[in-house]
Amino acid sequence: MNTTAPAPSYEELLQARRASGVAMFNDNVMKLGIFGANCSHGLMATHAETSYELSWEHTRRIAQIADRLGFEAMLPVARYRGMGGETNFNGSNFETHTWAAGLAQATENIMVFSTTHVPTKHPIVAAKESVTVDHISNGRFGLNMTMGWYKAEMEMFGGTQREHDARYRYGSEWIEIVKRMWTEDVAVDFTGEFFEIKDAYSDPKPVQVPYPVLVNAGNSPAGLEFCARECDFNFIAFADPEEARTTAARVRSIAHGQGRDLGILGYGNIICRDTEKETRDFLSHILDRGDWEVARMVSGGLGAESGSFDKVKLLQERFILGYGGYPLIGTPEQVVEQMVELSKAGVNGMMVGFLDYVEELQYFGERILPLMKEAGLRN
């Protein structure tokens, strides 16, 4: 494998990004992003009533509200096919680089991310597409990399799902090529286990220095090592704030061992009403109308069938309520209390969804965001 040019130190990278005004490196204690607003049903596998729809007009409106409220990011889910069940969950979806390019033109300050399954896109193409969106957005682009976990989806591309650690070896070569395309002023040659690249060059370079913000959700040993070496933020999965604390500490320990730091992101839907009773009723309605068929299929695929009944049911509920993330449930005051707990646990940001993105995002701005400012989570 060819060697790369010396990477900037973490402190140099951080200073450059703060100086250039990259939103994900601002001073807000708890960053906020909108997650999943590019797929049918968003993050919730339920038939509960909502005005949310997968249309460009609706998507643009969500992004513009979030931009006005000061959210740091719009983060999509990369899907090429639905996940089955009664809803064919996420079966209608927008491709994420072109989605980000469109939203870049419709917004002013919020970062627009693409989510890319690295086995589905050649690194030279990904590098060029990403630079293009970074220029369209004037330095507001970010890339969320996934290694491809949905077998049926990966098989659409004519191959088989690689074993777990091989996916990260592939991803390591992929991002090395991309970073070199972004930063080197000479043509790139590369020979590795998966790629043979000859005389590849890309111009212009990114607006962001030295390149766009990078995110990954790897939580396995191979995934954590990849994140520590290559990324700026790591998505973590957790059942409660204590698990978030333990996981965040483990992730940062690995990064510190490489002389770097990592921002920690969580994700989940917000289920909030003015009173506890209204919130409980809202939650019950979402679950009562949940797509339990797809929840059972997904939990089985994750190996949960071998767990206790309570564990399996909790995993299925978490999937219905938001892709297995950590749902923030309660009154506005209770939701902010939960965010304070997560912040104390080492979580730097939450990528959130709603059953009804437009209506509930406006409610978030009116009722929750002022309380976050009072709690010192937002400026």
Report helix, strand or coil for 341: helix
Q: Which residues pair with 196 in a beta bridge?
A: 191
* H or E element, residue 120: none
- Summary mean pLDDT of the chain: 91
Peptide bond just before 370 cis, omega within 30 deg: no
250 in Cβ contact with 179 (< 8 Å)? no
Domain ranges of the chain: 10-274+327-374
338 in Cβ contact with 279 (< 8 Å)? no
pLDDT-based confidence at 10, cuts 50/70/90?
low
Q: How far is the first Cα of the chain from the last one, in angstroms, to the nearest whole number?
A: 45
DSSP secondary structure of 196-246? EEEEE---SPPSSSSS-EEEE---SHHHHHHHHHH-SEEE---SSHHHHHH
Considering only CA atoms, which of 118, 328, 324, 329 is closest in space to residue 236? 324
- In this prediction, residue 149 carries a pLDDT of 67
Structural tokens at position 173: 């070569």
Cα–Cα separations (whole angstroms), residue 18 to 24, 96, 162, 218? 9, 26, 37, 25
pLDDT-based confidence at 260, cuts 50/70/90?
confident
Per-residue pLDDT, averaged over 31-50, amounts to: 97
Architecture of domain 10-274+327-374: Alpha-Beta Barrel (3.20)
CA atoms within 13 A on the CB side of 223: 20
Per-residue pLDDT, averaged over 331-344, amounts to: 98
Q: Which residue in the block uniquely carries the two structure tokens 């646990």?
A: 345
Specify the range with the lowest mean pLDDT, choosing from 157-161, 186-190, 226-230, 351-355. Answer: 157-161
Structural tokens at position 99: 């989605």
Per-residue pLDDT, averaged over 253-274, amounts to: 94
* H or E element, residue 88: none
